[in-house]
């Protein structure tokens, strides 16, 4: 992927070093890691388990980074993340105007290591990258990319860019008002229905990542041979069915929250095909 040509974003906060550290009582790091792994094995959002345990223990746990350096960092992975974010800003600003006749307000990105605080509560690297609609920021521990390559065989710069673009896709959902509506509906639904709604939101974010990649390539010639295959391999590797079978030998469809490998590849491909936001309606 030709990402080095992209404009770097100014909306990156690097908390990996030099940030102010705050010690919080409650859960220890070992407990948090166990809950994170248990969440993946059971098909439950690890954030829910950790947040619930924090409530029972009377607070969050661990050493939490709360502030950092603003601006794109100088190291290779940090520059990569900042430039991918910058390109999503350029693409979505244009496509919001062109396709939706609306203004796009970009999200922030927080790079952290180990743990940090977010507008949605405690954040730990075991959760993986996530988007917080409360503070409209994407949170990424960049070691996740190495985990993708080592544990799931899903390496490559475009595979990593897909992960960031997926989280930005949630911000797009938030910008158009869909995310809040679905989350409100999930709160009054049973577990199975809530999971089904979660799957639709996640698959739409996959499709929106494809929309970004389509227009990035159209305007910046950013894709190289093999890039799409990298992203599809990543989508396949992190499907709920694949993760559950790897963790416990079988899958429980009612517990899926992100979609099967086939679904994730299908919706990423849908966005890549024509670059139309309207094609990403997973709720039809």
Q: What was the pLDDT predicted at 246? A: 78
Half-sphere exposure of residue 183: CA atoms within 13 angstroms, side-chain side? 10
Residue written as tokens 């990424």?
A: 140
> Which residues are within 8 A (CB) of 227 and not within 5 positions of it... i.e. 6 or more apart?
1, 156, 157, 158
For the chain, the C-alpha Rg in angstroms (whole number) is 18
Under 8 Å between Cβ of 114 and 125: yes
Burial (CB count within 10 angstroms: exposed 0-12, middle 13-18, buried 19+), residue 129: buried
Count other C-beta atoms under 10 Å from residue 224's C-beta. 13
Compute φ and ψ for 206, nearest 5 degrees.
Answer: -60, -45
- pLDDT on residue 39: 54
Kindly state the tokens that stand for 65.
Answer: 């980074």
Between vectors from CA 122 to CA 251 and to CA 197, what angle results, nearest 5°?
Answer: 40
Distance of alpha carbon 67 from alpha carbon 22, whole angstroms:
10
Domain ranges of the chain: 12-280
**In the prediction, which pLDDT does 264 show?**
96
The per-residue pLDDT for 218 is: 97
Q: Bridge partners of 123?
A: 116
Helix, strand, coil abundance in the chain, percent, nearest 5: 60, 10, 30
C-alpha 68/C-alpha 18 separation (Å) is: 6
**For the chain, first and last CA: distance in Å?**
33
Report how far Cα 194 is from the mean position of its chain's Cα atoms.
19
pLDDT given at position 284: 84
Q: What is the pLDDT along the chain (284 residues), one digit of tens a residue?
A: 999 999 999 999 999 975 444 444 444 444 444 455 545 444 555 555 444 444 343 444 444 545 667 666 789 999 999 999 999 999 999 999 999 999 999 999 999 999 999 999 999 998 899 999 999 999 999 999 999 899 888 889 999 999 999 999 999 999 999 999 999 999 999 999 999 999 999 999 999 999 999 999 999 999 999 999 999 999 998 888 888 887 888 888 888 889 999 999 999 999 999 999 999 999 98
Q: What is the pLDDT of residue 56?
A: 41
Q: Are 260 and 240 in contact (CB under 8 A)?
A: yes
- Residue 1: alpha-carbon gap to chain centroid: 19
pLDDT score of 59: 44
Predicted local confidence at residue 67, as pLDDT: 62
Confidence (pLDDT) at 255: 82
Q: Cα separation of 284 and 267, whole Å?
A: 13
């Amino acid at each position: 992927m030709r990402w080095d040509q992209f404009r770097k974003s100014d909306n990156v906060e690097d908390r990996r070093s030099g940030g102010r550290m705050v010690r919080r009582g409650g859960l220890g790091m070992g407990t948090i890691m166990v809950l994170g792994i248990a969440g993946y094995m059971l098909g439950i959002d690890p954030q829910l388990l950790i947040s619930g345990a924090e409530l029972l223990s009377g607070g969050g746990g661990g050493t939490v980074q709360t502030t950092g350096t603003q601006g794109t960092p100088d190291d290779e992975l940090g520059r990569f993340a900042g430039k991918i974010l910058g390109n999503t800003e350029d693409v979505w600003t244009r496509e919001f105007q062109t396709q939706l006749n609306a203004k796009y307000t970009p999200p922030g990105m927080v790079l952290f290591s180990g743990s940090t605080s977010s507008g949605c509560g405690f954040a730990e690297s075991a959760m993986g990258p996530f988007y917080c609609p409360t503070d409209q920021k994407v949170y990424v521990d960049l070691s996740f990319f190495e985990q993708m390559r080592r544990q799931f065989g899903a390496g490559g710069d475009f595979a990593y860019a897909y992960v960031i673009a997926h989280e930005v896709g949630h911000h797009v959902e938030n910008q158009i008002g869909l995310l809040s509506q679905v989350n409100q509906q999930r709160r009054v639904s049973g577990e199975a229905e809530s999971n089904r709604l979660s799957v639709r939101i996640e698959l739409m974010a996959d499709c929106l990542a494809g929309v970004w990649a389509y227009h990035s390539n159209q305007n910046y010639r950013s894709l190289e041979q093999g890039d799409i295959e990298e992203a599809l391999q990543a989508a396949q590797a992190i499907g709920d069915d694949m993760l559950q079978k790897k963790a416990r030998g079988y899958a429980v469809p009612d517990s899926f929250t992100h979609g099967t490998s086939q679904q994730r590849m299908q919706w990423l491909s849908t966005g890549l095909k024509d670059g139309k936001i309207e094609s990403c309606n997973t709720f039809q």
